[in-house]
Amino acid sequence: MLDEDKAKELIELADSRHRILMVGHLLQYHPAFLELKRLVSEGELGKINYICSHRLNLGKIRREENILWSFAPHDISMILALADSELESVMTAGANYLHQRISDVTTTHMEFASGMKAHIFVSWLHPFKEQKLVVVGEKKMAVFDDTLPWAEKLLLYPHEINWENNVPVPAKANGYRLELPDAEPLKLECLHFIECASEGKAPRTDGREGLEVLRVLNASQQSLNAEGKKIFLSGKADTSAQESAFVHETAVVDAGASVGHGSHIWHFSHVMSGATIGRNVNIGQNVFVGKDVSVGDGCKIQNNVSVYPGVTLEENVFCGPSMVFTNVFNPRANIRRMEEMRRTHVGKGATLGANCTIVCGNNIGRHAFVGAGAVVTADVPDHALVMGNPARVRGWMCECGNKLDEAGRCPACGKEYSNRAAMADDVLGRDA
């Protein structure tokens, strides 16, 4: 379940039918985490300043999801359970090495209203396995390391910071083990569900807890798509930029959307919650920008264009009137397939001509030019001019938007490009 609205429907359905809905966040039932949570709630560590979580491994590489969605949900669940205040914002950055669109490494930074901060580092390209949660309090520090033998999984460090002559001096102390009941977390989780079902109790990880984790994951993915932009979750937002943007009175910008300084949103357009609109963007009439879509600085989206979830526009992309994005390859009205959504990335400075169609899962290179009415069914390389149905390379384009000559020179601005003409025969089956 990746859609927050569907998750809310599931919660409401369970409530209306008096059913127990429980999410399988297994580590919330681990004896070491249960003891750690008790220590935090009873103030043993003092005020929590910082939480750091590492979940690293070599392998378990997946192609249906990135590392954030594969490894981070349990870490987010634990951090939210330990936090004593509302999560305000997240920032996520990542890197792709094995696949051009799937992140192999991500780091996520979380900021809470109390001032507590948390950091999550996940990777499936790491030389050794590490599953470690570090909680830093004013009084003590705790380390939950799930790769160690049972007796060493939870250690407490009574470190202190003393001020001497206005200089902070750490006073290090030896860590000590905390005794834990030797119990299998999965068994404890199943027993908890049986207890809740038989007694009508709310599970520790009920649907609402799962929804909160999903909110963080979606915000993190939005930040990742926007190259690390801070995403606000608590209703607190950076309004200074939004107030300097123009939104026509007939347009709708949902709460939770971000609109950059100097941007214009015209008649009857709709920007959904979670969308990020950059600076100096012009959105024409009757445009739809979907949930969690990222639109880069300086983009121009002409009338009657829908930018669906899964589409990312880098800066200065031109979307011509009535051009079409898709995000499901083989849709059926009666079959839900959003879990099979294919992403499309449009590079900096690209032009998508009027009435062209970009079939989902295909990327458009930087400064590429898709002709009016073309149907793109394969990746388009940087600077390529593509036309027709299916689109074929018909030449190469300068950054200024003019076609290069056979020597790779722009007749308008004089800029020269090497090897462009030679490449044309190898991509998208260039027509003569």
Q: Which amino acid is at 8?
A: K
Tell me the HSE value of 153 on the side-chain side, using a 13 A CA sphere. 19
pLDDT in tens, the chain (432 residues): 577 888 889 999 998 998 999 999 999 999 999 999 999 999 999 999 999 999 999 877 777 789 999 999 999 999 999 998 889 899 999 998 887 778 999 999 999 988 899 999 999 999 999 999 999 998 899 999 999 999 899 999 987 666 666 666 677 778 788 889 889 999 999 999 999 999 989 999 999 999 999 999 989 998 888 888 888 875 444 444 455 789 998 999 988 888 988 999 999 999 998 899 999 999 999 999 998 899 999 999 999 999 999 999 999 999 999 999 999 999 998 888 877 889 999 999 999 999 999 999 999 999 999 999 999 999 999 999 999 999 999 999 999 999 999 888 999 998 888 765 444 443 444 443
Q: Please, are residues 52 and 141 in contact by the beta-carbon 8 Å criterion?
A: no
Residue linked to tokens 């107030």: 243
Q: Report the alpha-carbon distance of residue 373 to residue 378 in Å, rounded.
A: 15
Q: What is residue 169's predicted lDDT score, i.e. its pLDDT?
A: 67
Which tokens hold the place of 90? 């997240």
Q: What is residue 239's predicted lDDT score, i.e. its pLDDT?
A: 42
* Omega before residue 149 within 30° of 0, cis: no
Domains of the chain: 4-225 (3.30.360.10)
Quick one: how far is CA 418 from the chain centroid? 36
CB atoms within 10 A of CB 75: 24
Q: What is residue 428's predicted lDDT score, i.e. its pLDDT?
A: 41
Q: How far is CA 53 from CA 66, 143, 379, 382, in A?
A: 18, 10, 37, 38
E strand intervals along 96-140: 105-112, 117-123, 125-137
Q: How far is CA 90 from CA 111, 150, 295, in A?
A: 7, 33, 18
Q: Which amino acid is at 279?
A: R
Which tokens hold the place of 126? 């790491």
Question: What are 118's strand-pairing partners?
Answer: 51, 110
- Three-class SS state of 141: strand
Q: Report the alpha-carbon distance of residue 171 to residue 79 in Å, rounded.
A: 27
pTM above 0.85, yes or no: no
Question: What are 164's strand-pairing partners?
Answer: 167
Closest CA to 80 of 88, 92, 91: 88
Which tokens hold the place of 60? 């378990």
Instruction: Label residue 349 left, alpha or beta by phi (over 0 means left) and psi (-120 to 50 means alpha).
Output: left
Residue linked to tokens 């249906």: 64
Question: What are 168's strand-pairing partners?
Answer: 163
